[in-house]
Structure 1
């Protein structure tokens, strides 16, 4: 085997290894991107749920008040008042 042939083999091997590493890194990045997209979709879904739930709870409390029934104060974690109250 001549030096030229050895250099050609080494160059080809290095190129194949670099291609393999690049493929692995790209697939991991794509997997991470998919996870981020899924998490963003879940957050958006939970935000929509929260808005609808707040409205529904307000309606229920209003209905109770209309009937003269005092409803319990909601826990502060629900943030039903948008920070307007204590």
Structure 2
């Protein structure tokens, strides 16, 4: 199945990640992206914690495309298994 957009869950300052989800049919897939990866994608300075949701929304298409690619490759991490995106995942 193809992954579809899920929900923005939130910014975890202590872990330096943004959590979100995607859906494979009715199944919710937990996902996360490092804040440094998002800053690298924008090519600008680090944004403030209260701006992370807006940054995620701006980058959502690129983030979700990368998450879908890792999902198809079954590159899961953690418990429960999910998709974790880092800066290296966006390099050509």
Q: Do the structures match in fold with TM over 0.5? A: no
Higher-strand-fraction structure: 2
Larger-gyration structure (1/2): 1
TM-score when scaled to structure 2? 0.22
Structure of greater relative contact order (alpha carbons < 8 Å, 6+ residues apart): 2
TM-score when scaled to structure 1? 0.23
Higher-helix-fraction structure: 1
